[in-house]
């Protein structure tokens, strides 16, 4: 169940089809576990005051627009949550939550750990 902030954050993305998260049967849809985690982390960090939700939305829209200008719109490599993650990483560095080098180090460690270590 969403809190009021989580509901606000999720529904604030629904108005514009280009920034709306994938849905299935009217509900948010995640194909991979990391998508759920990235979604939750973005909302949680905003809720905790690390950045404004509107700043995340704007960064996400800019990330999607950048992808669209550098790819064919029918490119099968389109991945909404990859744009979401890129926007989150960009905003975390921009807002000073984590340094770019530290972010890279943490991502490498996460990508190389075994699922049993998570």
**CATH at residue 38:** 1.10.472
Q: In which band, very low, low, confident or very high, does the pLDDT at 44 lie, cut at 50, 70 and 90?
A: very high
In this prediction, residue 27 carries a pLDDT of 78
pTM of structure: 0.75
d(CA 58, CA 35): 19
Residue 99: both structure tokens together: 């340094």
- The one-character DSSP state at 3 is -
Instruction: Look up residue 4 and give its two tokens.
Output: 């009021």
What's the total number of domains in the chain?
1
Residue 89 in contact with residue 103, Cβ under 8 Å?
yes
56 contacts: CB under 8 Å, gap ≥ 6: 42, 46, 87, 88, 91
Task: Report the pLDDT value the prediction gives residue 86, as an integer from 0 to 100.
Answer: 95
* Domain extent for 53: 4-117
What does the pLDDT average to over 42-71? Answer: 94
């Amino acid at each position: 169940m969403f809190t009021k902030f989580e509901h606000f954050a999720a529904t604030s993305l629904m108005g514009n089809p280009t920034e709306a998260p994938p849905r299935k049967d009217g509900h948010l849809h995640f194909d991979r576990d990391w998508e759920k985690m990235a979604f939750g982390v973005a909302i949680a960090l905003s809720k905790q005051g690390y950045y404004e939700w509107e700043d995340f939305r704007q960064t996400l829209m800019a990330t999607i627009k950048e992808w669209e200008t550098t790819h064919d719109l029918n490119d099968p490599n389109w991945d909404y949550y990859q744009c979401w993650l890129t926007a989150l990483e960009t905003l975390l560095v921009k807002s000073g939550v984590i340094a770019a080098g530290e972010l890279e180090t943490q991502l490498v460690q996460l990508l190389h750990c075994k699922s049993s270590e998570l």
